[in-house]
Amino acid sequence: MSLPREEILKELELLPVWRPRVSEIQPDNQADIAAPALAAEADAGGDACAPIAPPLVTQAPSPASPVAKKQETPVPADNPLIQGVHNRDYLPHLKAEGGIYFITFRLDDSLPADVLEQLDVLPEQERSRAIERSLDQGHGECLLANPELAGIVRAALLRGADTRYRLHAWSVMPNHVHLVIEPLAEHALNDILQDIKSFTAHEINAATGRTGTFWQRESFDRLIRDDDEFDRYCAYVRQNPVKARLATSPELYAFCDAFNPVDAGGDACATTTPPPIVQAPSPASMDVSALTKANIAEMDWEALDAAIKACEACSLAKTRTQTVTGVGDRNAEWLFVGEAPGAEEDRRGEPFVGQAGKLLDNMLAAIDLKRGENVYIANVLKCRPPENRDPHGEEVVKCDPFLKRQVELIKPKLIVAMGRFAAQSLLNTDSSIGALRGKLHDYNGVPVIVTYHPAYLLRNLPDKAKAWEDLCYARRTMQDLQTQQAAIS
């Protein structure tokens, strides 16, 4: 069963422009397009945050433009697509170059044939929800409830992470697998899923002495269209083990990206999960961890900076070039917090450099601020995650005392959390950016406002208008706080 063409195009929000895996058309330089918009806002002066229409957003030409339409040509069946619409069996597969996808693939026996026949008559969305409910009921042998076999799938998923794709969220369930995945460069989603399924089927059949089909041929994939949808799917994937009663929290389920071996202890998924693979900490790591717990709340800036540079409490110490403590005025009223250093930050030892840093500087200028002047910039993590992957729970736990002490030393009037991860870490929530924006939150007594990360804005130009609204809200909030303090004094 497939969706009508009109519904497919509406879902994908572009014409089905078929492209070979390596396109001859060079992508637009989004950094060059994105940065000037907020620079223009800085020229608006003191009235920049007046309640007027948001700044214009320049968008790159869409594939639906007349030029792109002329390029529409069929692609041979054996050429994997990275953009467009194609069908295999009954499922439509929607692809967009640079897209992020929610994926479900399941064991061959996970749904009885009679159940599938009953579901075939349902509309696609309702059918998908019904399949998810049936999967969580544990039909079939549920071979992935075996820790050894689930471990094979986990290893296969992580093997290609950061080289062929980014895994934003994942969980291995007893009879199916959920992913939020972003193919990198020229790698096609078709090839990635086929390789994962082929490798794991071979390995598990060899380990169990089985023969025959292991996975269902079809996978369900959905193109994620915005930040809120991204947050919802990541939360769904991580909460699926909890919903299926395999663990009381995602951090306690070893076959999920949210797994935290520190929290799990000896009880993590005792019936279905093997002991986590954790390297014994080095003496330096244990010393720094003990020091953090006992003394970090008493450290001054010099001691704190030294402790961060010496920290080996998590695996990021093995891959970093250097730590990135922060930069700016240590008595600032404004504290901007991102998620983690990137490659250039790791090289230079300063947060927010490169194109994202330039955009942040423009954002600051738009509300009459400047890096280093009444502004301090920091990250939740002080070390770069490999290939800029999402931070892991254990890494956040290890770094959190450092950020907390920075806030205590700076004593900012206002914190601006930039990006989903920074907001969720500071506020200890799974809520989406959309749910957190436009509200005043609290971090240990300091007001917090949430906005988008500059790197996200470089990829999603239309959301710069929303970020502008957030900056105006932050500026009004700071003015109110300053007024209140003046009245008290």
User: What pLDDT, on the 0 to 100 scale, is given for residue 122?
Assistant: 60
Tell me how far the alpha carbon of residue 14 is from its chain's centroid.
24
**Bridge partners of 379?**
338
Q: What is the percentage of the chain residues whose pLDDT exceeds 90?
A: 36
Same domain, residue pair 333 and 481? yes
Q: Check: CB of residue 166 under 8 Å from CB of residue 111.
A: no
Residue 370 lies in a domain: yes
Tokens of 52: 């007027």
Decide the pairing of beta strands 176-183 and 446-451.
unpaired
Phi-psi region of 274 (alpha: psi -120 to 50; beta: other; left: phi over 0): beta
User: What pLDDT, on the 0 to 100 scale, is given for residue 63?
Assistant: 36
pTM given for the model: 0.47
Same domain, residue pair 167 and 120? yes
Residue 170 lies in a domain: yes
482 vs 408: CA distance, rounded Å:
19
User: What pLDDT, on the 0 to 100 scale, is given for residue 218?
Assistant: 75
Same domain, residue pair 287 and 246? no
Tokens of 198: 């082929």
Residue 50 lies in a domain: no
Domain final position from 231, 250, 269 = 250
Same domain, residue pair 170 and 302? no
* Lowest-confidence pick of 147-156, 293-302, 339-348, 421-430: 293-302
Residue 40 lies in a domain: no
Residue 33 has pLDDT above 60, yes or no: no
Higher-pLDDT residue of 145, 140: 145
Same domain, residue pair 343 and 231? no
Closest CA to 400 of 416, 422, 433: 422
User: What pLDDT, on the 0 to 100 scale, is given for residue 376?
Assistant: 97
Most confident option among 69-78, 139-148, 190-199:
190-199
Residue 338 lies in a domain: yes
* Lowest-confidence pick of 221-225, 275-279, 306-310, 438-442: 275-279
Residue 114 has pLDDT above 70, yes or no: no
Q: How many CB atoms lie within 10 A of CB 177?
A: 27
Q: Long-range CB contacts (< 8 A, 24+ apart) of 151-160? A: 151/255, 151/274, 152/200, 152/203, 152/204, 152/207, 153/177, 153/200, 153/204, 153/255, 154/255, 156/196, 156/199, 156/200, 156/203, 157/196, 160/192, 160/195, 160/196
Q: What is the percentage of the chain residues whose pLDDT exceeds 70?
A: 67
Q: Which domain holds residue 448?
A: 283-488
Closest CA to 426 of 434, 435, 436: 436
Q: Is 441 exposed, middle or buried (0-12, 13-18, 19+ CB in 10 A)?
A: middle
83 vs 189: CA distance, rounded Å:
10
User: What pLDDT, on the 0 to 100 scale, is given for residue 447?
Assistant: 96
Same domain, residue pair 298 and 430? yes
pLDDT in tens, 249-263: 888 889 999 887 665
CA distance between the termini of the chain: 70
Residue 26 lies in a domain: no
* Lowest-confidence pick of 6-10, 54-58, 97-101: 54-58
pLDDT band at 48 (very low <50, low <70, confident <90, very high): very low
φ, ψ at 6 (rounded to 5°): -60, -40
Same domain, residue pair 290 and 232? no
Residue 220 lies in a domain: yes
Same domain, residue pair 330 and 428? yes
Same domain, residue pair 338 and 473? yes
User: What pLDDT, on the 0 to 100 scale, is given for residue 136?
Assistant: 55
CATH number at residue 167: 3.30.70.1290
419 vs 339: CA distance, rounded Å:
7
Q: Domain total for the chain?
A: 2
Domain final position from 227, 250, 273 = 250
φ, ψ at 402 (rounded to 5°): -65, -45
Decide the pairing of beta strands 334-338 and 414-418.
parallel
pLDDT band at 132 (very low <50, low <70, confident <90, very high): low
102 vs 430: CA distance, rounded Å:
18
Residue 79 has pLDDT above 50, yes or no: no
User: What pLDDT, on the 0 to 100 scale, is given for residue 14?
Assistant: 39
pLDDT band at 280 (very low <50, low <70, confident <90, very high): very low
CATH number at residue 423: 3.40.470.10
User: What pLDDT, on the 0 to 100 scale, is given for residue 40?
Assistant: 40
Same domain, residue pair 246 and 287? no
Same domain, residue pair 323 and 386? yes
Higher-pLDDT residue of 163, 451: 451
186 vs 83: CA distance, rounded Å:
11
**Which three-class secondary structure string do you get for the chain?**
CCCCHHHHHHHHCCCCCCCCCCCCCCCCCHHHHHHHHHHHHHCCHHHCCCCCCCCCCCCCCCCCCHHHHHCCCCCCCCCCCCCEEEEECCEEEEECCCCEEEEEEEECCCCCHHHHHHHCCCCHHHHHHHHHHHHHCCCCCCHHHCHHHHHHHHHHHHHCECCCEEEEEEEECCCEEEEEEEECCCCCHHHHHHHHHHHHHHHHHHHHCCCCCCECCCCEEEEECCHHHHHHHHHHHHHHHHHCCCCCCHHHCCCECCCCHHHHCCCCCCCCCCCCCCCCCCHHHHHHHHHHHHHHHHCCHHHHHHHHHHCCCCHHHHCCCCCCCCEECCCCCEEEEECCCCHHHHHHCCCCCHHHHHHHHHHHHHCCCECCECEEEEECCCCCCHHHCCCCHHHHHHHHHHHHHHHHHHCCCEEEEECHHHHHHHHCCCCCHHHHCCCCEEECCEEEEEECCHHHHHHCHHHHHHHHHHHHHHHHHHHHHHHHHHHHC
pLDDT band at 133 (very low <50, low <70, confident <90, very high): low
Domain final position from 250, 270, 292 = 250
pLDDT in tens, 355-403: 889 999 999 999 999 999 999 999 999 999 988 788 888 888 889 899 9
Residue 467 lies in a domain: yes
Same domain, residue pair 231 and 313? no
User: What pLDDT, on the 0 to 100 scale, is given for residue 220?
Assistant: 80
Cα separation values, 193 from 237, 392, 470, Å? 17, 23, 38
Residue 126 has pLDDT above 60, yes or no: yes
pLDDT in tens, 281-310: 333 443 444 554 457 888 999 889 989 998
